[in-house]
Amino acid sequence: MKDINKFTNELFNSSGLSVNPSHDIHDLCKEIKINGDAIEDIDSDKVESLSELGLSISSDLDIQDIWKYAAIFYTLNELGFDCLENVQSTASELSGSWEEAVTILSTKISETNVTSDADEKDITDLVDYIIGCMFLGVEAALNDSNDEGIDVWVMGVGSICDDGHPVGDTIFKACEDFSIKYSVRDILGDSFIQALLSLYSVDVDDYRDDDEGVDWDQVSGAVKQLM
């Protein structure tokens, strides 16, 4: 994350804004959107230089971090920046299909056991990896115009408390202790909702009912609109 923090510092400095960028990816995306007008006014030569910097820092990404870079660069893409090439090519290399992303997650889960004495970092590391796999799966499904793949990932991660969702059931297998399962659920739930907004501009609150909760089928439908 050091590289992305350096990049956003340079971004805000170039826009003439006295902003102290957050170290939280979702907050960073919000700050970029809030200051979009000033960022769009950055000199074209500087935009090109920043885009090149973005490409250089995203040439070697792992699953745990790729979605964080994607969130920043997708947000900037709407403002005229071109930093996505390495993120998109790496995503394709890491997983060629939504099914492969499921296999990657299943393999990781089979090697992971979050025990009852796990600290917050253990849990957030697992959550970051899950979100990374979700990103790989959804990107592959979008590229292939595959409705099923989007459903599996969006509804599976979103409905991890419900039985019968293969991705959600797989995630819970990583947790030895019952209480840890619900710690993972809570942290993953919040991060997943924010990731959908940062990556795909899908606001889950638009599909939330006070009585019924989130309609994940509708959320999945909103992501499909990006195909």
Specify whether 99 is located in the same domain as 49: no
> Alpha-carbon distance 34 to 28, whole Å?
10
Domain count, the chain: 2
Burial 51-83 (b: 16+ CB within 10 A, else e): bebbbebbeebebbbbbbbbbbbbbbeebebeb
> Alpha-carbon distance 193 to 102, whole Å?
19
User: Full-prediction pTM beyond 0.85?
Assistant: yes
> Alpha-carbon distance 71 to 84, whole Å?
10
Highest mean pLDDT among 58-62, 97-101, 187-191, 207-211: 97-101
pLDDT, one tens digit per residue, over 80-136 is: 899 999 999 999 999 999 999 999 999 998 888 777 777 888 889 999 999 999 999
Specify whether 85 is located in the same domain as 121: no
What percent of the chain clears pLDDT 90, i.e. is strictly above it?
64
Specify whether 108 is located in the same domain as 197: yes
Q: Which of 59, 91, 123 is the last residue of a domain?
A: 91
Specify whether 194 is located in the same domain as 175: yes
Specify whether 126 is located in the same domain as 206: yes
Specify whether 9 is located in the same domain as 62: yes
> Alpha-carbon distance 58 to 129, whole Å?
17
Asked if the model's pLDDT at residue 161 lies above 60, the reply is no
Domain limits for position 82: 2-91
Asked if the model's pLDDT at residue 13 lies above 60, the reply is yes
Specify whether 47 is located in the same domain as 147: no
Q: Which of 74, 91, 108 is the last residue of a domain?
A: 91
Q: Which pLDDT does position 5 carry in this prediction?
A: 86
Specify whether 47 is located in the same domain as 139: no
Which tokens sit at 24? 């939280």
> Alpha-carbon distance 113 to 100, whole Å?
22
Specify whether 149 is located in the same domain as 205: yes
Specify whether 149 is located in the same domain as 84: no
Specify whether 101 is located in the same domain as 213: yes
Which tokens sit at 222? 């909103």
> Alpha-carbon distance 197 to 71, whole Å?
9
> Alpha-carbon distance 140 to 103, whole Å?
13
Asked if the model's pLDDT at residue 174 lies above 90, the reply is no
Q: Which of 91, 116, 136 is the last residue of a domain?
A: 91
> Alpha-carbon distance 213 to 193, whole Å?
13
Q: Which pLDDT does position 182 carry in this prediction?
A: 74
